[in-house]
Amino acid sequence: MDRLAYDIVVVGGGAAGLRAAIAAAESDPKLTIGLVSKVYPMRSHTVSAEGGTAAVMRDYDNLELHALDTIKGSDYLADQDAVEFFVAHCPQEIVQLDHWGLPWSRDGDGKIEQRAFGGMSVKRTCFAADKIGFHILHTLFQTSMKYPQIVRHDEWFVTDLIVENGAAAGVVALDIRRGELSYINAKAVVLATGGAGRVYEFTTNGFIKTGDGMALAYRAGVPLKDMEMVQFHPTCLPGTGILITEAARGEGGTLINKNGERFMKTYLPGKMELGPRDILSRSEIQEIREGRGFEGPHGAYLGLDLRHLGEKAIDERLPMVRELAEKYLGLDPIHEPIPVRPGQHYIMGGVSTNLHGETNVPGLYAVGEAACVTINGANRLGSNSLSECLVFGTATGLSAAAYAKKRGWPRGTAAKEALAKEEGRIFGGLMKHEVGKESVAAIRKEMQQIMDRDVGIFRDEKGLTDACAKLATLRQRFVDVGVADKDRVFNTELTQALELDFMLDVAQAIAWSALNRRESRGAHSRTDHTTRDDANYLKHSLAYRGDGAPRIDYLPVTITKWQPQARKY
């Protein structure tokens, strides 16, 4: 067992975690920073982002317009002070990445090129072909290696937070390669573990997106904010859930039904395919329900048509789109439309934080998709998420560094007690349970199917009530889950069980938050409460973990200058 200590522990090696670690390291070279990631950082989910990252970089654009687009896109559930902070800091993050060597796509004048994205009034999305996440992650990872004070613990899985005298004091983590638990003392802990898409069955998210950081904070007494706000992306490949980037529509791609019609003219004639994701996803489901979808081996779908763009444009600006279509569907988008349908993509909610990543537990911070700051409200605009990781990664890293410099080292027995508790729970419990009564795979599949069916694009009281009851039963059944593989080294069955434990907490927070919001707003679409209700629900939901169902409370939305209006495009 290792006994480690760092001034700051960052949990998660994606864009948000790396940016926070770099900002902390640059603020004071004397600070020590532990970067703990359950995968090698270059396998973090940031690598999957394709389309681009938003920032005001041209004379035709301005900060007020970016803010208004974001707030309108959020269906007025975004905190406007957070949005104003966000848009003001986006441009400098783009320039910083440029200085660190990110190979942006550029126009004829050598300026960073920008493309159109859904819900944006102007071309605001900076890009690097259609592989921006790959390039951002490479750039940040390589930059982080300049700082010897950032010490990585790759393939370490954090299972618990250490809390001493009401403040965060480190983490307990499983070294997956050795199969050993260790505690890591810290003056500040930053959670940057990404989203929780794997609580759904049909999702664009990789298998590592299991809500770990959300559940860790939730169990430490931090509320999860706006968890009912789950984004479904309109263009996913049937069968796999692989994302076809919004950049394909930004470059001029169109959505067609089986009759060859651009059906978005019926639903959103002003923006067509460049409308917000929530509206596009609902429109697609409506087309399918009314019998205008294509039929395929994985059910009904619509077509994403790029044929009119031509081979040269597709190969220069959307090479990965062509590669994905050829590899996973056996078709060439130069000659055939790409089959697409909506799939879970992003969690707008997360660990409740302020502008600087601070939670209600001193010394505990969260950032990126794991956090809810909140700039996304009820619907995130495409290309704002990578910018969010960068802007708030910087802010959170600086805030955690300032806190750590003022705080003394934890001196109590909380770390040893937390470690002993985790060893009993994991090695004395999960690893020793009788195998056969309950399995990880069976409970996980039931959870995902419940979420897809009842907590999906369209929701109602009956379905949500049923989902909450069934998820509670799954939570109870989990205590009987056993692990057949008793070897501690690289025990993926064990890590999947621990991830499922986290996901069940997150799924309950989503379902109960959705049940209690009896209106339709952004991505939260209730068929039994079809209109937005500002009188009763212009507020953030806060889910607090309890012995049974989560306790749902509320927090006012911060309005600075943009009064809520009807959301029209």
- Which residues are catalytic, by number? 233, 249
Amino acid (1-letter code) at residue 257: N
The secondary structure element, H or E, covering residue 372 is strand 371-372
Residues 6+ apart with CB under 8 A from 150: 21, 22, 25, 33, 35, 144
Q: How far lies 539's CA from each of 76, 111, 525, in Å? A: 10, 40, 16
Tell me, what amino acid is at 319? Answer: P
Q: Which two tokens stand for residue 454?
A: 């009842």
Rg (CA), the chain: 23
Contact 7, 29 (CB under 8 A): no
Return the structure tokens found at 152. 């990585």
- Are the beta carbons of 443 and 481 closer than 8 angstroms? yes
Q: Tokens for 375, please give them.
A: 């700039």
Alpha-carbon distance values, 530 to 47, 342, 376, 461, 567 (Å): 37, 20, 21, 12, 14
CA atoms in the 13 A half-sphere facing the CB of 485: 13
Q: Give the span between the Cα atoms of 427 and 422, in whole angstroms.
A: 8
Residue matched to tokens 């294509």:
294
Upstream peptide bond of 353 is cis (omega within 30 degrees of 0): no
- Mention every residue, 6+ apart, whose C-beta is less than 8 A from residue 539: 554, 555, 556, 557
Asked if residue 88 lies in contact with residue 392, where contact means CB atoms within 8 angstroms, the answer is no
* DSSP one-letter code for 510: H
DSSP state of 200: S
Query: What are the backbone dihedrals phi and psi of residue 418, each rounded to the nearest 5 degrees, phi first?
Result: -65, -40
> Bridge-partner residues for 151, per DSSP?
34
CB 312 within 8 A of CB 324: no
Half-sphere exposure at residue 429, Cβ-oriented, CA atoms within 13 angstroms = 13
d(CA 395, CA 375): 14
CA distances from 419 to 404, 427, 479, 492 (A): 22, 11, 20, 21
Q: Which two tokens stand for residue 328?
A: 């996973």
Are the beta carbons of 199 and 374 closer than 8 angstroms?
no
**In whole angstroms, what is the distance from residue 517 CA to residue 502 CA?**
23
Q: Taking each helix axis from N to C terminus, what angle separates 212-219 and 492-516, rounded to the nearest 10 degrees?
A: 70
CA dist 536 and 534 (Å) reads 5
Integer Cα distance of 336 and 353 in angstroms: 45
